[in-house]
Structure 1
Amino acid sequence: MSDSNAARSSKPAGRIRKQNQTLIIRAAEVEFAEKGFSGASIQAIASRAGLPKANIHYYFKHKEGLYLAVLNHIIEKWDETLDQLTPADDPAVVLPAYIRRKLSFSREDGLASRIFAAEIIGGAQYLKNYFSDEYAAWFSGRVAVFRAWIEQGKMDSVLAPEHLLFMIWSTTQHYADFAVQIAAALDKAEPDEADFKAAEQTLVHVILKGCGITPS
């Protein structure tokens, strides 16, 4: 078989592999969110995914490996939204976009946020490698951009930009992690699109005004 034919024949297999992995991770998110790591089982995840248990083990050798894959999937989605942040960016554009993106995660993928929160509250046993010097360097890089914006006069001199990031994370993820409380407070089965839009507008207004940023 020629190289070109081999490449063509491998594409369907690669696509099926990716589809199955995505299906398994989504099913695992539901299982881990409902039962936690200790209560979840590979058999239950397989049933949710509509796949034989052997298929789960083909892609993920054990439950811990699948749990780590779920956590990595969550973290990659969150971190990529700030990966390309630079001092040349306009915070009046970047910060509202980031708040909107984080709120959309809370609305569309609340299970993922709750899994991450439970892992952190439990001591981050499975995220110790993630919270390494590499993570600290990534976080310091985002804070350095905030400091550069301050120096350039793009935003007010915030005493500790680190806490600005913490504030954005906590307020946006609150809508996923405490969804039951929010629904009860609003007297609804769950927050709807109008509620999330109101949350977005409120958070953008308060955070930008607190940073001395004029909305774009």
Structure 2
Amino acid sequence: MPATSGSKNRRQEKEKQILLAAEKVFAEAGFGGATMQLIADVSGLPKANIHYYFQTKEDLYRQVVSNIFDIWLQAAQAFDESSGPAEGIGGYIDAKMEISRKHPMGSKVWASEVMHGAPVIQDYLEEVLVSWTEGRMKVIQRWIDQGQMEPVDPRHLLYMIWATTQHYADFQHQIATLNGGEPLNDADWQNAKTSVREIILRGLGVKDTGNEGRP
């Protein structure tokens, strides 16, 4: 049993190593410019190892895209586990900002894929993204109907949140340039999260209870 557990852990570590390298390569080179050899070089593993875990480049690419979307889905739990927009929308914004901070390469892969018409993951958009979006729109509409926030089009509210929060990942270089050539530090990120959250919630007529007591 210990040997089996150790083998499983090693496999998981190698998969993680490959996926992190693939994220970087796909973000910088796109699907068309990426090669399994380049991903192997960045990961520090033999090309044969890459093919052992992922038979084709498309398999690996779809896994990278799936991973970032799964992380975004986890962020959406803020909607499902809250009773109102201050906690739900505010918590979602906080989570999405943290994802942009910690997973910028994955976000860039997603953005590039969609901007090119989603040639590889269109089925994923139609099957998963559509269902997810419709579910969150119903939650937002319920809060509107209950008088907890100003009436807005839930779809466009989501688009605004995505565009704003993912900007910090997809335009990371531009933000660093405008920040004196330095990436955002911990204080900068906290200020960005607080500002984005306050601006959006204030526009929705929602008191930002999550920021009470903050300087």
- The corresponding residue for 1:124 is 118
In the TM superposition, what whole-angstrom CA distance separates every residue of 1:100-130 from its partner, at most 9, and x where no partner exists?
Answer: 1111111222111111111111111111111
1:145 pairs with 2:136:
no
- The corresponding residue for 2:189 is 196
131-140 or 110-119, which deviates more:
131-140
C-alpha RMSD of the superposition: 1.8
1:30 pairs with 2:27:
no
| Greater gyration radius | 1
**SS of structure 2 residue aligned to 1:157:** coil
* Structure 2 residue identity aligned to 1:188: G
Report the identity percentage.
39
Alpha-carbon spacing, 1:21–1:161, altered in 2? closer, same or farther (3 Å): same
- Tell me, in whole angstroms, the C-alpha distance in 1 between the residues paired with 2:61 and 2:106: 11
- The corresponding residue for 2:162 is 169
- Tell me, in whole angstroms, the C-alpha distance in 2 between the residues paired with 1:43 and 1:144: 45
CA contact (8 A) 2:79 2:92 kept: no
CA contact (8 A) 1:87 1:145 kept: no
Deviation at 1:134, TM superposition (A): 4.3
- Which runs of 5 or more residues in structure 2 are unaligned? 210-215
- Tell me, in whole angstroms, the C-alpha distance in 1 between the residues paired with 2:81 and 2:46: 49
CA contact (8 A) 1:31 1:40 kept: yes
- Which runs of 5 or more residues in structure 1 are unaligned? none
In the TM superposition, what whole-angstrom CA distance separates every residue of 1:72-111 from its partner, at most 9, and x where no partner exists?
Answer: 1111111222157338522211222211111111122211
- Tell me, in whole angstroms, the C-alpha distance in 2 between the residues paired with 1:135 and 1:34: 24
TM-score by length of 2: 0.90
CA contact (8 A) 2:93 2:165 kept: yes
CA contact (8 A) 1:87 1:148 kept: no
Q: 1:181 aligns with which of 174, 181, 197?
A: 174
CA contact (8 A) 2:18 2:50 kept: yes
1:13 pairs with 2:1:
no
Q: How does 1:48-59 map to 2 (within 5 A)?
A: 48-59=42-53
Deviation at 1:137, TM superposition (A): 2.1
Deviation at 1:48, TM superposition (A): 1.8
* Structure 1 residue identity aligned to 2:189: F
CA contact (8 A) 1:87 1:149 kept: no
24-33 or 181-190, which deviates more:
181-190
Aligned length: 209
- The corresponding residue for 1:210 is 203
**SS of structure 2 residue aligned to 1:125:** coil
